[in-house]
């Protein structure tokens, strides 16, 4: 049994970036934890984004934690590092999933860089892609989530306060997962792609 920690700067990032993989890890008997760094107050909606995030985490019985860093102003410095270190100390994860350094959203990049410090003793770190990840993202670790794609679509849909965004549509979520399957020459499958930041065995 592994302990897994997925870190999202905002309430919907984990769902978009790695929910299928988290669902698979949970089903396979691992302990899955979600940490969301902001309440997403800078996004659209009515301030219910924390409730949406709690509800989607519950789909796979992930342990859910939310912090209150300032949306759009997440720093890569001591404030964010100490928040992350608190959870690394508490959970002692074997694997951590974070946004990519190639992401165009400043909060996502800051989360990546703060995680590099806070996760220095973690043996496995993987970066996921989000709708704001740049074209330079080149995954080299692929997880077949075919059995979990409907759950991922459902989890994304729970974030209905952000639902007007095209990348949250069923066809967009499935389209990216199908595209990542084609990346590794798999037909009729759905896949999430990750950038391996560090693996120690
Ligand atoms: Zn985000």
Mean pLDDT per 10-residue section of the chain, whose length is 201 residues = 97 97 98 96 73 94 96 97 98 98 97 98 98 94 98 94 84 97 96 98 95
Q: Which CATH superfamily is domain 3-199 in?
A: LmbE-like (3.40.50.10320)
Task: Find the distance separating the first CA and the last CA of the chain, reported in whole Å.
Answer: 15
Domain boundaries, the chain: 3-199
Centroid of ligand 1 to alpha carbon of 9 (angstroms): 5
> pLDDT value at position 160?
84
> pLDDT value at position 41?
82
Centroid of ligand 1 to alpha carbon of 107 (angstroms): 7
> pLDDT value at position 137?
96
d(CA 26, CA 201): 22
Give the pairing type, strands 191-199 and 141-144: antiparallel
Centroid of ligand 1 to alpha carbon of 68 (angstroms): 14
> pLDDT value at position 47?
66
Q: Which residues contact 17 (CB under 8 A, 6 or more apart)?
A: 6, 8, 97, 99, 128, 129, 130, 192
Centroid of ligand 1 to alpha carbon of 201 (angstroms): 30
Which one-letter DSSP state was computed for residue 69?
Answer: P
> pLDDT value at position 139?
97
Which one-letter DSSP state was computed for residue 162?
Answer: G
Centroid of ligand 1 to alpha carbon of 8 (angstroms): 7
For 196, the enclosing helix (H) or strand (E) is strand 191-199
Residue with tokens 């410095």: 77
Centroid of ligand 1 to alpha carbon of 142 (angstroms): 21
For 78, the enclosing helix (H) or strand (E) is helix 78-91
pTM listed for this prediction: 0.96
Centroid of ligand 1 to alpha carbon of 30 (angstroms): 25
> pLDDT value at position 31?
98
> pLDDT value at position 50?
86
């Amino acid at each position: 049994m592994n302990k897994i920690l997925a870190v999202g700067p905002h309430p919907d990032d984990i769902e978009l970036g790695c929910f299928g993989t988290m669902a698979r890890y949970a089903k396979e008997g691992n302990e899955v934890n979600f940490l969301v760094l902001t309440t997403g107050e800078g996004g659209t909606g009515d301030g219910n984004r924390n409730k949406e995030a709690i509800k989607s985490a519950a789909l796979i019985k992930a342990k859910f934690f939310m912090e209150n860093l300032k949306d759009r102003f997440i720093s890569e410095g001591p404030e964010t590092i100490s928040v992350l270190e608190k959870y690394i100390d508490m959970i002692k994860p074997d694997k951590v999933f974070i946004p990519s350094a190639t992401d165009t959203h400043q909060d996502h990049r800051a989360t990546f860089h703060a995680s590099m410090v806070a996760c220095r003793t973690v043996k496995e770190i993987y970066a996921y892609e989000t709708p704001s990840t740049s074209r330079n993202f080149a995954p080299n670790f692929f997880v077949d989530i075919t059995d979990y794609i409907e759950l991922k679509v459902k989890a994304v849909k729970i974030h209905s306060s952000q639902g007007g965004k095209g990348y949250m549509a069923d066809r967009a979520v499935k389209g990216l997962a199908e595209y990542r399957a084609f990346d590794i020459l798999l037909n009729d499958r759905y896949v999430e792609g990750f950038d391996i930041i560090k693996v120690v065995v």
